[in-house]
Structure 1
Amino acid sequence: MKKLSTTLLSATLACALSAPSFAADYTFKFQSSDPAGDKNFQVQKEWVNRVKEMTGGRVEIDLLPVGSIFKHTETLDGIKMGILDGQITATEFFSGKDPAFGLIGNTVGAWSNTSQLLQYINYGGGYELMNELYAPYGVKFIGGSTTGVESLVSRVPLNGVEDLKGLKLRAPEGLVQRVFAAAGAAPVNLPGSEVFTGLSKGVIDAADYTVFSTNQKAGMNDIAAHPVQPGFHSLPLIDISMNKKKWDKLPADLQTILTVSVRDFAQDMTTQLRIADQAAVKAAQADPNITIHDWSAEERKKFRAIARTQWEEFAKSSKNAQKVYDSITSYLEQNGLL
């Protein structure tokens, strides 16, 4: 009996060792523009896991945090070179390659909420335009998401456009700075890592940084106790895209699954961040030292009118930028948003 048991055990082990490992049919390496510790990256990892489940293990994506192989502004090159297979990134990071990416990636002042941007991308021509812009780089735009309309952190009360005049405001270079400058502010170049120190020491009066919940968690609202929420300016396009040749080799069913999964990712990302923002706003409202400023529809309209003048100027930077301008303004006008 003992000899038989040993024989059976040996046979079982032999079978286990010789059994084929069911590797994915398609494995891809993607790089994110977010660090591993950010909530954004956590939501992206959840998307990666869902893709594996939805495809029955046929597709596996290895998602790397920002800077793992390429700088956040260079992942497009990484895909073109074949070192990366895809990316989850803010489209505006590629404005140095073509101003069109900056304009569609963050049309400052255009969108009042996440649904407006996503409707444009999915149903208003944005999806087709992004694929046209990415074509020269051999990249397929699978779909878009966003985070949320970014809050503005401020040491001084901001109740409308008039209050922006002379404001020492940290803002990213490019279209964001141009719009705020046109509104009368004095934009300051300052890395994101120095925003907290800049505010605490009075080097800047306010900052275009990120969404309310992230600002609150970082203690920004404690040292700049006059946040503007909901925001009225930045709403970045977050895109998931990959090597076009590798996309074309995928069976139609997997292409469909990936496309639909990105729409779900957008819903997941915007919802989770909105929930986090709502909780953070409640916490801030309970703090007597923090005053939240919510701009009226009239003031938001004034800012958008100023922003539009800068969109027009930015559109002159390239033929593609003009295409983006025409597409977005046409959509906004048709939907009564201008």
Structure 2
Amino acid sequence: MIQTLLLVAVLLGGCLSSAAVISDPIVWKIQSNQSASSTKFKQHKHIVSEIERLSNGQLQFQLLPVNGYVGNRQAFNSTRVGAIDAMFMSPQYWGSSDPIFTIMGDLVAAWKSPDQYRQWLGEQNGIAYLERAYQRKGLKLIGYALIPLESLVSTKPIRNAADFADQLMRVPPGMMSDLFRELGARPRKITLDKVVKALQRGQVTLADYSTLQVNYQRGLYGIAKYTNYPGFHSMPLSDFVVNEKSWQLLSPQQQQLISTVVDKWHQRLMNDLSRDVSLILSDLKAQGVEVYTWREQDVRQVREQAVQIWEQYASRSTEATLLIAEIKSWLKKIGNLK
């Protein structure tokens, strides 16, 4: 009898211990590439909060804004080795690791709208290229979001590509810088937080910053009185990527919950960044800002020049060659290329 009671006690103790382990929340460290006050970071916070709420607190994601755990350029390797569990970033940051990341992150001057790119990613399964690139690095792509085409800001007219000649331009290194150099601009490597002062001091006369709404919110049009809308050059893809080992520790139900919440990210972000555009355009006109809408032939001319830049990146790997060939075929099908 005593032995039986002892056995029951041991079994109950084991069950309680297992229950305690099961009920312990899973805690992840997640790095964002956005500042705490930005629209994009608020979207990241919403995703994390929804996951915590829907999991009844079983998934607790400790999200920090830019440079919280690590810098943007360090996030890739930090996620790979498990120093952090996940990241909201853009694949273009990792272009030196694999040209697929550059091409998928922001293929310069390729698209007329986010819908075009999203259609290729989804209906044509183009997203598989990015998934495979991350898999090769021990990472798991969970989801992505696009933004409206970005608008340039300038202290000089930008009626067409000829107006880029000899302009000192803030533009990130890589594919964007390569194209604008070909178009006659003189690229300068300046971080986003220093763009306002650079424009004020005349260190640059042209800047690749963000969308019309973000440019407006940051006060750039108080300095630079020329812009273009809609844009043509940049429409970066942002993604949510996790450490593969961290992902595999989740139950199938938890994985599905995260995927479902992240799937809604794109449309929420597009709604936020497209809101009040007509009001912004009216206010810019009242401020004396010249908003240029480029002719289709002028945009197409830039896109044809951009193809030469794409080919340079395509030559860096067999997979990149296949990717660019597939994108070009799709762009011809929808009329973006001849």
TM-score range, shorter chain: 0.7 to 0.9
Shift of 1:197: 2.0
| Structure-2 residue corresponding to 1:263 | 263
SS at match of 2:34: coil
| Structure-2 residue corresponding to 1:295 | 294
Shift of 1:52: 2.4
Judge conservation of contact 1:127–1:141 (CA < 8 Å) in 2. no
1:96 equivalent to 2:90? Answer: no
1:333 equivalent to 2:337? Answer: no
Shift of 1:23: 5.4
SS at match of 1:235: coil
| Structure-1 residue corresponding to 2:149 | 149
Superposed CA deviations along residues 21-64 of structure 1, whole A, max 9, x for unmatched, are 99565332211111112111011101111222333444332211
| Structure-2 residue corresponding to 1:163 | 163
| Structure-1 residue corresponding to 2:108 | 108
What letter matches 1:169 in structure 2?
A: M
Count of aligned residue pairs for this structure pair: 318
1:62 equivalent to 2:62? Answer: yes
2: distance between equivalents of 1:257 and 1:331?
Answer: 33
2: distance between equivalents of 1:250 and 1:323?
Answer: 34
2: distance between equivalents of 1:292 and 1:127?
Answer: 34
- Which aligned runs of 4 or more in structure 1 are off by greater than 4 angstroms? 20-25
| Structure-1 residue corresponding to 2:283 | 283
SS at match of 2:72: coil
SS at match of 1:292: strand
2: distance between equivalents of 1:24 and 1:292?
Answer: 55
Map 1:303-314 → 2, pairs under 5 A: 303-314=302-313
2: distance between equivalents of 1:262 and 1:121?
Answer: 16
Judge conservation of contact 1:34–1:41 (CA < 8 Å) in 2. yes
Judge conservation of contact 1:118–1:144 (CA < 8 Å) in 2. no
Change (3 A) 1:86 1:195: same
Superposed CA deviations along residues 62-106 of structure 1, whole A, max 9, x for unmatched, are 211111121101211111111111111111111122232112111
TM-score (norm 2): 0.87
1: distance between equivalents of 2:303 and 2:226?
Answer: 21
What letter matches 2:315 in structure 1?
A: K
Map 1:123-202 → 2, pairs under 5 A: 123-202=123-202
Q: In structure 1, list runs of 5 or more residues that go unmatched.
A: 1-19
RMSD after superposition: 2.1
1: distance between equivalents of 2:169 and 2:280?
Answer: 23
Superposed CA deviations along residues 193-232 of structure 1, whole A, max 9, x for unmatched, are 2222222222222111111122112221121101112111
| Structure-1 residue corresponding to 2:36 | 36
1: distance between equivalents of 2:45 and 2:27?
Answer: 15
Judge conservation of contact 1:134–1:140 (CA < 8 Å) in 2. yes
1: distance between equivalents of 2:122 and 2:56?
Answer: 26
Q: In structure 2, list runs of 5 or more residues that go unmatched.
A: 1-19
TM-score (norm 1): 0.87
Percent identity between the two aligned chains: 26
| Structure-1 residue corresponding to 2:207 | 207
1: distance between equivalents of 2:315 and 2:177?
Answer: 17
Judge conservation of contact 1:213–1:281 (CA < 8 Å) in 2. no
2: distance between equivalents of 1:255 and 1:90?
Answer: 21
2: distance between equivalents of 1:123 and 1:316?
Answer: 26
| Structure-2 residue corresponding to 1:6 | none
Superposed CA deviations along residues 171-200 of structure 1, whole A, max 9, x for unmatched, are 111110111112222222222222222222
